[in-house]
């Protein structure tokens, strides 16, 4: 395994926790359409793009086939609700542990990129005052394929001026670990992804990352 020169971070589930907002916004849309939706279905949407998420929710839809225009309108309606909820976020929504660890990694010479499927990633980072903690942002606005495709992380590595083999990816979703591994990067799991056997390293807590990087680079 080569040394880690860059780390690419998933956003939702790693840096911030916006699951509950996604849930509330999709739930409102689904209720309006008379579609059954619960937290278990919401869990399947982690790391999945907005339009792919809509398709998962529509698996329970029993009405007339929907046109692409209608689907776009439903996704836009969900996003509007979601962004209203995001406006309640403040810097207090990111832990001091996360801030300190990102700063420490930079002091160690590690370059830091975001690697999120979300088109709202920059908006979220602005809300929580974390934009400056990143050297590069790869998000839903610069990709055509969402995780488990490696595109978002390959772009992150490219934006940092590094090769995929130089980078580790920190992810909470199985699809994100698949994307990292298929892209030739080191898969570092946190949260739910820790139970996935494709992960190379597992973090009990975010700050464990310092030790993991030291271990890989020793
Ligand atoms: P948006 P991540 C993902 O963020 C979320 O986990 C997923 O639930 C969401 O559908 C996706 O972003 C797209 O988000 O609608 O804001 O573009 O985990 O890749 O940081
Ligand atoms: Mg995630």
Residue 80: left if φ>0, alpha if ψ -120 to 50, beta else—which one?
alpha
**Could you tell me if the CB of 116 is within 6 A of ligand 1?**
yes
Residue range 195-212, pLDDT digits in tens? 999 999 999 999 999 999
pLDDT digits (tens, 9 = 90+) for 134-183: 999 999 999 999 899 999 999 999 999 999 999 999 999 999 999 999 99
Distance between Cα 31 and ligand 1 center (Å): 21
* Cβ atoms 180, 199 nearer than 8 A: no
Rounded percentage of the chain residues whose pLDDT exceeds 90:
96
Distance 13 CA to ligand 1 centre (A): 10
What ligand is nearest to the CA atom of residue 142? Answer: 1
Distance, CA of 168 to CA of 207 (rounded, Å)? 15
Alpha helices in the chain (DSSP H): 19-33, 39-43, 50-57, 68-86, 96-107, 121-127, 151-160, 174-182, 208-217
Q: If pLDDT is split at 50, 70 and 90, which confidence band does 1 have?
A: low
Q: Which of 118, 122, 134, 179 to mutate to test the pocket of ligand 1 (most atoms within 8 A of CB)?
A: 118
């Amino acid at each position: 395994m080569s040394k880690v020169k860059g780390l690419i971070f998933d956003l939702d589930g790693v840096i911030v926790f916006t699951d509950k907002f996604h849930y509330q916004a999709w739930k409102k849309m689904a209720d309006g359409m008379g579609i059954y939706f619960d937290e278990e279905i919401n869990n399947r949407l982690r790391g999945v793009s907005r339009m792919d998420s809509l398709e998962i929710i529509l698996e329970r839809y029993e009405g007339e086939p929907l046109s692409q225009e209608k689907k776009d309108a439903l996704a836009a309606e969900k996003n509007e609700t979601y962004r209203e909820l995001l406006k309640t976020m403040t810097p207090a929504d990111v832990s001091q542990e996360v801030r300190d660890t990102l700063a420490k990694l930079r002091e160690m010479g590690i370059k830091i990129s975001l690697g999120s499927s979300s088109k709202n990633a920059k908006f979220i980072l602005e809300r929580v005052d974390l934009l400056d903690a990143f050297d590069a942002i790869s998000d839903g606005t610069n990709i055509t394929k969402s995780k488990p495709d490696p595109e978002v992380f390959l772009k992150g590595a490219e934006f940092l001026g590094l090769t995929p083999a130089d980078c580790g990816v920190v992810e909470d979703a199985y699809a994100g670990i698949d994307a990292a591994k298929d892209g030739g990067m080191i898969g570092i799991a946190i949260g739910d992804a820790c139970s996935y056997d494709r992960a190379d390293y597992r973090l009990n807590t975010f700050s464990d990352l310092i030790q993991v990087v030291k271990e890989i680079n020793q």
